[in-house]
Structure 1
Amino acid sequence: MQVELISHTPEPERLVAAAARLCYSPRGASRLLAAMDREEIERLLRLLLSLGHESPLEHITFTFAIEGVSRVLSHQLVRHRIASYSQKSQRYVNEDNFTYIIPPSIAAVPEALARYQECMRALQKAYHEIQELVPREDARYLLPNACETKLVCTFNARSLFNFFRLRCCNRAQWEIRELALKMRDQVRKVAPLIFSHAGPTCETEGVCHEGAQSCGRAPVVRAREES
């Protein structure tokens, strides 16, 4: 899996702080942007995050290039609808000898891996043969969820908070959790204060909302913070 932050709002933390300050200042946004020093930016951001006042986060966006992931992952990713997506088209791109993702649980069992790879080879062969008979857009119905895909996605920071809250959780499906953790690492490099507390509620609040399905991490985090 390759994840790269290819674009983002310049000086994202300064912009969020200025947008928040604008609500309570007679000065315009451009003057606020120019005048605020780092100390004031950090103070405002900490206040915003402590109050859960997230609407100013919608002013900053982050764009990622993602490769080496499955259609299983992309089907989950687009459920986060407050984002923009562009994905490799199986209608127009020839998928002869398509690459595919192997789940770790399958890779760890030789018998399962052999059967899995056998199925993929059979699908590759069938796709190639049927594509000679029907349009590619119909041959693609044979392609599996494991088929590798590439996409570009853009989130605003508030949407990323929601994404990290759900998908960095230990109970998230393994592939999208790996993606979420990689994305979080990258945005923390350009907006470290904003994303310092982004993640599952066991990390950010010391509580878990998974009920009986909880992994049990929340009490451990809470005890560590209280000690």
Structure 2
Amino acid sequence: MRHVEPVVSLIAKPQIDWEAIDAYLDEVGGRSWSDRVQNAPSPDAEDLLEFSGRMCYRSWEPGLNPNVSRVRTDSAAYLGNVIGSQHGSVLEHANFTFILHNVSRVLTHELIRHRAGCAYSQESLRYVRLDEVPFWFPEWAREDEELMERSLKVLETLEEHQKWMAEHFKLDEEGTNFAHKKHMTSFMRRFAPEGLGTGIVYTANLRSLRHVVEMRTAPGAEEEIRLVFDKIGRIMQQEAPAIFADYTVEDGAWLPGTRKA
């Protein structure tokens, strides 16, 4: 048994093709918006949201839409208004992809309930054979000596059983075909605890991320998922500060100034 800590890594985020946007704006008008935003320090994710929101009203600059005589030129203020007016569909254009490493299947079973605006690719224990049982214990559990002693014995027994089954089924003998390995590995996973550390690739758009950060850091949420989404929330404050500017954090709970649209 190996003690592990949940790790969150951001591995992909939006990148704008400014040449394509400029070509479009040269045709319909609004190139001044592009020139201004490209010279600003705002991340591409936020620029993409602003572009998409301005598409709705053709509000890249005054005069393009006769009904719009004045436009906001401060991008953070513009996006703050998008959040405040609950124009949530605009937030769906920007996707972020994370690796959640050393998280339990307790967490992933809860996480995949959030389907709208999300995509998942999880390590499959039908194919991935276990030779150890990585496991996360919360701090309060690590401080309980009797609990830890008993729990570690259980995990060591399960780990040893995985190794025994691999030998018993002759999985490493030369000539053993993959179909047999897959069949036996699928059976062996039934003896893996739900708290086993695993990995999942998680992609979500900003609308979904705001919702899940709020839901899964709430006081009643399971403690591991609270830990993970606190990490995600802190990453997103760096990656899309204008979109997460309305949050306050109280005792680990992320509270938005404006509820999800």
1:190 to 227, 239, 252: 239
Deviation at 1:129, TM superposition (A): 2.0
Structure 2 residue 39 is the aligned partner of structure 1 residue 4: no
Per the alignment, do residues 9 and 206 of structure 1 end up closer, same or farther by CA in structure 2, a change over 3 Å counting?
closer
Instruction: Say yes or no: does 1:179 pair with 2:228.
Output: yes
Partner of 1:76: 110
Counterpart among 22, 33, 39 of residue 55 in structure 2: 22
Given candidates 83, 91, 97, the residue that maps to 1:63 is 97
- Work out the CA distance in 1 between the residues paired with 2:133 and 2:75: 48
- The DSSP-based 3-state class of the residue aligned with 1:135 is helix
Deviation at 1:92, TM superposition (A): 1.3
Hey, what does 1:43 align to over in structure 2? Answer: 77
- The aligned length equals 199
The 3 A distance-change label for structure 1 pair 158 and 148 is: same
CA contact (8 A) 1:64 1:154 kept: yes
TM-score, with length taken from structure 2: 0.70
Match of 1:54 in 2: 88
Aligned-residue offset at 1:111:
0.3
CA distance in 2, matches of 1:119, 1:103: 17
Residue 95 of structure 1 corresponds to which residue in structure 2? Answer: 130
Are 2:187 and 1:135 aligned?
no
TM-score when normalising by structure 1: 0.80
Which residue identity lines up with residue 55 of structure 1 in the other structure? Answer: S
Corresponding residue of 1:152: 201
C-alpha root-mean-square deviation of aligned residues, in Å? 2.5
Runs of 4+ in 1 over 3 A off after TM superposition: 37-40, 198-202
Unaligned runs of 5+ in 2: 1-5, 16-43, 61-70, 170-182
- Measured in 2, the distance between the counterparts of 1:97 and 1:15 equals 44
Unaligned runs of 5+ in 1: 28-36, 208-227
* Contact preservation (8 Å) 1:164, 1:199: no
- Verify the 8 A CA contact 2:107 2:224 in the aligned structure 1: yes
Task: Provide the residue aligned with 2:31 in structure 1.
Answer: none
| Separation in 2, partners of 1:165, 1:92 | 34
Question: Aligned in 2, Cα 1:63/1:173: closer, same or farther, shift over 3 Å?
Answer: same
Larger Rg: 2
More helix by share: 1
